[in-house]
Amino acid sequence: MQRSMPPPPIVMYQINEREVTEPDQIFDTSDRLIIPWENPMPTRLKFNFVDEGVSAIAELFEHQAPKSCAAVLTILPQNDFAHHATYSGAEVAFILDRDIKVGKENATIKVLPGDLCFARFDGGVHYGFPDDFSELCWFYDRDTTPSMPDGPVAPNIIGKFVENFDEFTAVCRRMKREGVKRIEITVE
């Protein structure tokens, strides 16, 4: 059964019984009470290297990349092999079992260790990739520029690893020598 994609979240606040949705409508004075209406806890994903028994937790940036986060959540859980990126430096990529068409949002080539990203590629555009595909990718060191064979690409930053990233990174580093590793991605 395929789940439908939820609409992007709308941030709403209540200020003394007045509803606002735009951040510039919110101001802070001592006689006003500002209460966020949405869940303040970010959605968390668990990335588990199955055979190694090593996992890490990432929190999604649902405000910065709402369409990408919502689309990724509709296709979880995922369980397949991740591979070390060939062209990018310290990057591991996990090709999703379905192609998700989401445009650019919160995209950059200036990634940092711990960034979790979503990327989609049209088939035939990059050398050696004839079919459309989508992937989750994460970066574990500073020597990284997300790239395909013909140069840098800007993935959508959708989250950040927040727990057990050091041990998780050690497995990622070993993938350069040891090859692909089975990973399971679930909503925590």
pLDDT-derived band at 84, boundaries 50, 70, 90: very high
Mean pLDDT over residues 70-86, rounded? 95
Q: Where are the beta strands (DSSP E) in 4-108?
A: 13-15, 18-20, 34-36, 44-49, 54-60, 78-84, 89-95
Provide CB contacts within 8 A for 62, sequence distance 6+: 9, 42, 43, 69, 70
**How is residue 64 written in tokens?**
């910065």
Short-list 79, 38, 72, 75, CA closest to 58:
72
Residue 37 has pLDDT above 90, yes or no: no
Query: The tokens 């140069």 sit on which residue?
Result: 151
- Domains of the chain with CATH codes: 44-187 (2.40.100.20)
pTM: 0.77
What is the per-residue pLDDT across 111-153, written as a single tens digit (0 to 9) for each? 999 999 999 987 767 677 778 889 999 999 988 888 877 888 8
Kindly tell me if the per-residue pLDDT of 62 is higher than 90: yes
pLDDT at 14: 40
Considering only residues 35 and 176, tell me which one the structure prediction assigns the higher pLDDT: 176
